[in-house]
Every structure is written in structure tokens, then in C-alpha cells.
Amino acid sequence: MTSRPAKPGSISLALQGGGSHGAFEWGVIERLLEEDGLEIGAVTAASAGAMNAAALASGLATGGREGARDTLAKFWRAVNNADGRNGTLFGDSSVWSSMLQPDWLKATPAWRWAESLGASMSPYEFNPFNLNPMREVLEKTVDLAAIRDHCPIALFIAATGVRTGKVKIFGREELTVDHLLASACLPTLFHAVEIDGEPYWDGGYLANPPIWPLVYADTPDDVLVVTLNPFVREEAPKSPGEIMDRLNEITFNAALSAELRAVAFVQKLLDEGMLQETARGRYRRLRVHAITADRHLRDLSMASKFTTDWAFLTGLRDRGRKAADAWLAENLAAVGARSTVDLKAEFL
């Protein structure tokens, strides 16, 4: 194995959204923070990725690396407790959930009818007071003032403009709870989040996560993309649930695929001498790395993105730690030297 350099350098993290599957990113970040000499210089994120980015930034601003690990753990524990049971009334309900919602039941006409009925109602109807437990979770665990005033890393948080149909990027200096809730606002569950008179939905629809802000900002050239939605499935879906799961994955990967395709095209033109590379300008060479859901989360369904049992969340964290450990062992030496993802082969 190639020996690891003492100071491999800095990376930008690109964190995808995916509900409670974001706990996988918790594990990835936790493991990266333990690697001496590897610095996180920027985070670009959407939805659940934005929550992890905020917890990371808050912890770094108030307590360094150890503070970041503690804040991430507190955030995900608060997510687990947000149902009001504090995870103790019936203990860990993951066993009961699997018993009451088996795959055969979800495939029945009655179950599909109930899902259709639920989908026919607007959150403005079934949630008229716009209750969102994530607001309290963020207010309790993330220090937004510290992020704005003392955070040592750059942040780029994506949201989707409802009226404009355009992506909106919020930076560290302006970040509030509303910006984070906007980035994770699923329109089937919550009212659009209004900021400065503009309504916003989940950033994952148009940028999941956004890559282009890294091209123009003073951020590390190495970008580690962490995905929560598999790009590839070996078998075509056939049941209604499988079809909806796959459609969801394709939809939330589309923006990232398009951005990586653009990065690959620019790098191809740079390689062929048709463009001139600039340090922080229009044409910049990014070194791209990835920890993907294809290898580590493909056994999970879309429905599990709403599961917040502590055993499930910590299991995802452990998967993330294991994935990051494998990535470090295989690819850390490439940081600062070369990409470990063949963008031309994957996206051109």
C-alpha cells in the first residue's frame, strides 16, 4: 500500500441530501476529522447535507475538531428525539416498524391507496401550522451566530426558488435556521420557507449538492463528493414501491450528474489545450473524489429516509466511518495530486 503523506492537504466536501440517510455523512465526516493533517476547507451541500454542514461548521467554530464531532453527535441525537418520545417510550422502534410495515404489505393495493390519499393532500391542509421539528433541533444544537462570525471554513447551502425555478446559494455570513430549513424543505411535507419575500423548497431538486460555487471561490482544488442516492441499480424496478424509489434516486442525482458532466467537459478542454486554466477564474481544474451510496447504501429504500431510530442512525454512522476509512486507505495519497474518479469515463 502507498504510504500516507504527513500533510496531505485540504479538501472541499460536497454533501448530498437524503433524509435520515444523512447520518451516513455524519460517520464520514467524523472519520475525516480524525485524520491528522487532512483539512476540510469548504463544504457545499443541500438538504440533509446542509444540516451536516451546519453542525460541522458550528462545532469547528466553537470547539475545533472535537467540537465538530460533538456537535454532529448532538444534532443526530436530537433528530432521534424529535418525535417527542426521546427514544425511550417504546425503546428502539425499528423492530416494530419492520413488523408493521413489511414489504409484502407495502405492495398491496390498500397500502398504495393509502399512499395516494396522503399524496393528494397539501401540507397547507394537513399541517396548517407548519410544524417542523427540525427547527427546534437546529436551534438546540447548532450555533448559527458562531458560524457567521467565527467559522473557519466556507459554506455553500443550496435551496430551490419556487417562483424562479432557479437554485439559490446561501453563504456562511448570512446563514440562519430558515436558510437551512429552506434547503431541506420537501414541498409534500412542509410549507415553502420564505426568505426576503421569496419562497424556497429543497435544494436537492436543482443542486444536490452544488459543485459550481467551488469553481469560483477560494476553496481547495480537491473535492470529495459524498452521495446518499445510488447512481446505478443492477436490476430494473418492477413493483410500484421500487419504481418510485428508483425515480426518486434518479431525480435527486440528476443535478449532480449534470454538474459533474460539465466539470468533465471543462477538464477535457483543458487537457486538449483548448482552454487556459486560471487559478480562481472561469476555468479551473478540480480533483474529484467520491464516497458513493452505490457501494454503501444500495440496500436501503426511500422509505427508510424517514426512519430516525437511534440504532438505525448509528448504524448509518458506522457505515459512513467504515466507508471513509476505506477511502482514506485507498485514496488519501492522491489528495493534492490527482482525481480518483474518472469523470470522462463516468460522465462524458
Long-range contacts of 58-62 (CB under 8 A, 24+ apart): 58/141, 58/142, 58/143, 58/144, 58/146, 58/147, 58/151, 60/151, 60/152, 60/153, 61/143, 61/146, 61/147, 61/149, 61/150, 61/151, 61/152, 62/143, 62/146, 62/150
Q: Give the number of other CB atoms < 10 A from CB of residue 244.
A: 16
For 125, the grid coordinates are 391542509
Measure the CA–CA gap between 268 and 274, rounded to whole angstroms.
9
Q: What parts of the chain have a pLDDT lower than 50?
A: 1-7, 85-101, 111
Structure confidence at residue 10 (pLDDT):
94
In this prediction, residue 90 carries a pLDDT of: 33
Position 89 scores a pLDDT of 32
Residues in the chain: 348
The total of other beta-carbon atoms located within 10 Å of residue 239's CB is 12
Per residue in 238-283, pLDDT (tens digit) is: 887 788 888 888 998 999 999 999 999 988 888 888 887 765 556 7
Residue 165: count of CB within 10 angstroms of its CB: 9
Distance between CA atoms of residues 251 and 123, nearest Å: 21
CA gap 160, 12 in Å, rounded: 22
DSSP classification of residue 307: -
Output the pLDDT for position 281: 57
| Per-residue pLDDT, 118 | 56
* Residue given cell 437511534 in the structure block: 310
What is the pLDDT, as a whole number, of residue 87?
A: 40
